[in-house]
Amino acid sequence: MTAVGDDLISVIVTTYNRPDALDASLRALAHQTDNTFEIIVADDGSGPQTARLIESWRPRLPVPIRHVWHEHDDFRGGEIRNRGILQSAGRYCIFLDGDCLARADFISVHRWLAEPGWLVAGNRILLSQKLTETVLAGGLPAETWDFARLAHERLRGGINRCLPAIRLPLGPLRRLHSRAWEGAKTCNLAVARSDLDLIDGFDGRYSGWGLEDSDLVVRLFHAGVRRKDGRFATGVLHLWHPEADRSGLAENSRCLDEVLAGSRIRAERGLSTLGHAV
């Protein structure tokens, strides 16, 4: 295991049976300007192709990579991220989806924004299905595209917006919406490990698509953590994927409403229920 250090960041990348997208995501992480981080691939039950892909990247990455897997049983994003947290060594965790491409300064900017008692919620640019297929088929490093190229793709309908690619200092304005849980998503979210331990991580009660990230942020707020805006600093490119099955959303919404109405801090099925299992 990587030695724990005050400067080490753990990037927890969630994936499920999308090796082509994961390949692109790892490529982007391989070219960061700041290499004081580790990668934990939190795998929600993918087949052996994903394991082979991760092994193929191991000698090519400038940072350590670890593969954490559990058997697939519906979408269990919260639980597999918890397993990733348990295997991480960093003082700070960045959650990233395995179909997101991070620009070269992604780690360095998150490090710059990191502050005790604050989470950082970034944003994303969504790629169309057609552009995603072109990027993946051609191995195109879309994470390196400058604003002019992104604006061109916006005019062509290949992406939904350009603004997340702009870099602005903002300063104290980043704290303007410190209690807004809406829009904070685990495709680009950074939280101190000590704060994750305090609330016992994600709640494994959430099964199927949706709201496990909102639950996490709300309980962090209950614990006194506040939100810092990562927009105009940490934006990622999010590859297209088919819409997920939302049949479990009603139950997940009920769980979130319960958390919003109360003051509970710790997850009902959190890190402590997994022990050190992987």
Q: What is the pLDDT of residue 244?
A: 75
Q: What is the pLDDT of residue 207?
A: 87
Distance spanning both ends of the chain, measured CA to CA: 14
Alpha carbon 152 to its chain centroid, in Å, reads 27
Please, what CATH class does the domain formed by 9-269 belong to?
Answer: alpha beta
Q: What is the pLDDT of residue 2?
A: 39
In whole angstroms, how far apart are CA 199 and each of 221, 260, 274? Answer: 10, 15, 14
What's this model's pTM, rounded to 2 decimal places? 0.94
Q: What is the pLDDT of residue 89?
A: 97
Q: What is the DSSP string of 58-76?
A: GGG-SS-EEEEE---SS--
Alpha carbon 208 to its chain centroid, in Å, reads 17
Q: What is the pLDDT of residue 276?
A: 58
Q: What is the DSSP string of 138-158?
A: HT--GGG--HHHHHHHHHHTS
Cβ-based burial of 247 (10 A; exposed 0-12, middle 13-18, buried ≥19) = exposed
CB–CB of 202/267 below 8 Å? yes
Q: What is the pLDDT of residue 259?
A: 96
CB–CB of 239/101 below 8 Å? yes
H helix or E strand, kind and range, residue 15: strand 9-15
pLDDT tens, position by position, 42-98: 999 999 999 999 999 999 999 999 999 999 888 888 999 999 999 999 999 999 999
Q: What is the pLDDT of residue 249?
A: 87
Which residue ranges in the chain fall short of pLDDT 50? Answer: 1-4, 277-278
CB–CB of 131/153 below 8 Å? yes
Which residues fall within 8 angstroms of residue 208, CB to CB, at 6 or more apart? 74, 75, 244, 245, 246, 247, 248, 249, 251, 252
